Amino acid sequence: MDFKTEFKPLTVQPQEIEGISFQMIKDELGEHPFTEEQFPIVQRVIHASADFELGRSLVFQPDAVQAGIEAIRAGKRVVADVQMIQAGVSQDRLKRFGGGIDVYISDPDVIEEAKRLNTTRAIISMRKAIREADAGIFAIGNAPTALLELIRMVKEGEAKPGLIIGLPVGFVSAAESKDELRKLDIPYITNIGRKGGSTIVVSVINALSLLAVKQD
């Protein structure tokens, strides 16, 4: 039996490929619980991951999407836990409104303080961000300890983010940190389970910034 097939590459523009992909996602996802404003974010998450299970696992606090759009349009900063998010986000759209993205995890003072306290740089970076950044959005895709520390600061009144995007990936405390996030009474975008990651967070921020631009 001959299993060989002829591969024919698509000869279409990138925008067309994206449009075709999004339509395929919509068709394959079928019925879903997401609102009209949430669905573009779900689409981009699935587009970035090719993972429908991950897309279906997303959870939105009811005010989350609008809170993210308002933070971006107000020029608020985005604080991320790792540089990979900073590298992937479309910063031109953030800069359009006077915003940008900050990452503190590799700052020398963060590294020194983490060593002194025998704790993680992710935890110390969140503490520094609360002190220094006029942040509207905290975006965490790698470090559950960063998310847990941010949750602690929210509970203790030390932090009041406009939106938390909490999608850390992994086995140790990743799912549990998201469980704790869903208990907060503030805007959040997260998911259920271990899946997530920096590329997924990037897709969420980029989706929010596109929605922010569309409101012009």
Task: Supply the residues annotated as catalytic.
Answer: 47
Question: Vertex 129, ends 103 and 118: CA angle to 5°?
Answer: 90
Are the CB atoms for 187 and 69 separated by under 8 Å? Answer: no
| Residues in the chain, overall count | 216
Q: What is the DSSP letter of 162?
A: S
Token pair in block for residue 124? 């110390």
The b-or-e profile of 123-137 (16+ CB within 10 A means b, else e) is bbbbbbbbeebebbb
Alpha-carbon distance of 168 to 149, in angstroms, equals: 13
Q: Spell out where 143-204 has E strands.
A: 163-166, 188-191
Alpha-carbon distance of 210 to 208, in angstroms, equals: 5
Residue 59 DSSP SS3: strand
Residue 183, beta-bridge partner list:
none
